[in-house]
Structure 1
Amino acid sequence: MANVTFHQEPVTLIGSEIKVGDQAPNFTVLNNDLKEVSLDDYKGKVKLISVVPSLDTGVCSLQTKKFNDEASKVDAQVLTVSMDLPFAQKRWLEANNVSNLITLSDHREGNFGEKYGVLIKELRLLARSIFVVDSNDKVTYVEYVSEVSEHPDYDKALEAAKQAK
């Protein structure tokens, strides 16, 4: 498993680590209208999945805004997954004028977190990470950010999304 810290303290990630070349696990989360959605809802599309602990924190907010700004430059569906409630995600999107990506909530079951190995046992938050999944649902890029409070490598993730077919 990836070694991840939260404010320099080691945390335990629940689930299996995803690797490049893996078939992307299907998952069930909620959209902002409280409707269940899964990876299957984006079948046939390249997906850039940006995972953040909470949109209400500085780095998570900046990460989501960055991918929103870059979304039009990649031929991919950009998804941001967090443990925030769908109502809070919707409010954040509106308050920050973010409309080029979709936010999804894993708060109900932690299903995404477990299937992608990013559910932090001690905090019931998701570890910051990025997954690029091609149109055939193969994982082409993975980044588990080693310190949850730090930024991912935006350039590598965006380049991976541009290269995925």
Structure 2
Amino acid sequence: MTTFKGNEVTLVGAPLVEGSEMPAFTFVDKDLNTVDSTTLKGKRVFLSVPSIDTSVCSMEVAKFMNSLKDRDDVTVVSLSMDLPFALDRWCQAKNNDKVIMGSDYKGQNFAKVSGTLIEELGLLTRAVFVVDENNKLVHVEYCAEVANEPDYNKVLEVL
């Protein structure tokens, strides 16, 4: 069960499972370019967040940005339904050059393959997916309460 501020919500689609392959998807980056996830290689961390304009989402992405800034072997992608303009504004405010900021507003491609769409809100739920060099999911976390942060230590541990 997933809740948003204590109220039960419905996630659309099947959840991803550790040990399975990360499905391919596309998203729009902060510069309005369409990005195919299969072009991202090596270890990858995909962050699913409701909106970068909320304090918890901003804090989460910033924590991963700072924790992994020296890890050239890891690509971090934050995905939300935010428009690319909001993502660009956040990047400028945080001097972000580590995390690829992706918007799923156009077609909800990521949401469909990852089971992260909150039906009632049209937003992504909070989740973290860690993928190894062979495109295998080595860590999957769907936060039971969308307003809560993920387990940062577990993510860093599997990297």
Would the TM-score normalized by the shorter structure come out above 0.5? Answer: yes
Q: Of 38, 52, 55, which aligns to 1:55?
A: 52
In structure 1, the residue corresponding to 2:101 is in which secondary structure? Answer: strand
Corresponding residue of 1:67: 64
Alignment-derived partner of residue 42 in structure 1: 40
- Map Cα deviations across residues 18-45 of structure 1 (whole Å, 9 max, x no partner): 01011101011101121111211103x1
Give TM-score scaled by structure 1 length: 0.92
Partner of 2:111: 113
The residue identity in structure 1 corresponding to 2:49 is: V
CA displacement, residues 100-141 of structure 1 (integer Å, 9 cap, x when unaligned): 111000011111011100000100100000000111111110
Amino acid paired to 2:46: I
Identity of aligned residues (%): 42
Tell me, in whole angstroms, the C-alpha distance in 2 between the residues paired with 1:21 and 1:38: 22
In structure 1, which of residues 126, 129, 149 is the aligned counterpart of residue 127 of structure 2? 129
In the alignment, which residue of structure 2 is the partner of 1:12? 10
Task: Give 1:156's aligned residue.
Answer: 154
Deviation at 1:154, TM superposition (A): 0.4
TM-score of the pair, normalised by structure 2: 0.96
Amino acid at match of 1:22: S
Unaligned runs of at least 5 residues, structure 1: none
List structure 1 runs of 4+ shifted beyond 2 angstroms: 72-75
Report the structure, 1 or 2, having the larger strand content.
2
Amino acid at match of 1:66: K
CA displacement 1:43-66 (0-9 Å, x = unmatched): 3x1101111100000100000100
Query: Residue in 2 aligned with 1:32?
Result: 30
RMSD over equivalenced CA pairs, Å: 1.0
